[in-house]
Amino acid sequence: MWQRISQLLIKEFLQLKRDKSARLRLLIPPIIQMLLFGYAATFEVFNVSTAILDQDQSQESRELIAAVLHSSRFELTTRARTHKQIEQAIESSDAQLAIVVPAGFSELLRKGQTAPVQVLLDGTNSNTALIALGYFSEIGQTFGQRHALDLAQRTGNALGQPLLHVEVAKRFWYNPNLNSRWFFVPGVIGTLVLVTIVNLTAFAIVREREIGTLEQLLVTPIRPVEFIIGKTLPFFVIGLIEVAIVAAVGMIWFQVPFAGNPWLLFAGTCLFLLSVLAIGLLISTLCKTQQQAFASNFFVLNPMFILSGFSFPISSMPEFLQWLTLLDPLRYYLVIIRGTFLKGVGLNILWPQLLALALISLVLLTLSVFRFRKSLD
């Protein structure tokens, strides 16, 4: 049995060796995609186009505006003189955010009263609008605390009253600088492996069927189960190599730390690859041509990506979709890879994800092998 499987493995690797373009497709695109995702996929927002209307024209209003513009989050695009110009800047998308400092702003601050500032946002892109509003709120809060402390120092001492200053110290675990790439890069590893391995498995077997070599192989002494093992095992090895390469790029280029146990990540990767190989094999049994396989991959991979929690929180999805995510192996692998990379958690924390991947792999492999053997009849 193993001799026949080994001969099929040799055949697959020799075919890969002869196909130079295939070797390039396995190495170059994942690295390029890792770099693109690493730079493009981020929750942070920079250079938000900003329109400003300062009706107070005071030292305090200029200090607030300077605090906003000196950050890397906002970029001044419109210096308005009237409310009409502010509205036009928002409507024409020249500005995503507009700040209006009303007259009397500084007078209220000097009296120790609440000084309102109007912020207008283009809600077309709600995510950018909410993040930009959060940035401005933090800048405004810091500005207000500084002026409140200054007022207390000037008036409190004069009245003989003690000064009370409360400062909140923030501490973020596992990602102290809140670098969103630390969150995205490990997730990209799982996504790239999913897409690559499913495509390789589905197209390789469908290609054999389409050109007629599948029947030629099956008339040899090799059995269907041996054929499945020999056909999918090379992709399992390729998947492990791709994880190692892409993970190395993430750790070296993007400086994403690895705090966990590499053997635990290896075990989770093996279980994830088994489930992914089973999905590709199942697609190959349902398709007769490569065009059908391509369409099926698009239908399967996109929902798996969306339901995995890669960029959209599962807790924010409707309840029936949350239940559906339990069938997605990428969901569990993202927890494993992010937990081992960033948190350094062990088996006592990740065993539910490993168990879920093992069950999914067993069910999908059994179903795909049964379906493959049935498709040969």
Residue 101 has pLDDT above 90, yes or no: yes
- What was the pLDDT predicted at 1? 65
pLDDT digits (tens, 9 = 90+) for 283-333: 887 877 777 887 888 888 888 988 998 878 888 888 899 999 999 999 999
Single-letter amino acid code for the residue at 113: Q
Q: What is the pTM of this model?
A: 0.79
Give the chain's mean pLDDT: 83
Report the distance separating Cα 22 and Cα 297, nearest Å.
Answer: 19
- What was the pLDDT predicted at 71? 84
pLDDT digits (tens, 9 = 90+) for 151-161: 777 775 544 44
Taking residues 216-222, what's their average pLDDT? Answer: 67
* Domain layout of the chain by residue ranges: 48-159, 177-376
* Out of 22-26, 44-48, 233-237, 294-298, least confident range: 22-26
Taking residues 352-368, what's their average pLDDT? Answer: 91
CATH 3.40.50.10860 fits 48-159, yes or no: no
- What was the pLDDT predicted at 3? 66
pLDDT digits (tens, 9 = 90+) for 256-277: 899 889 999 999 999 999 999 8
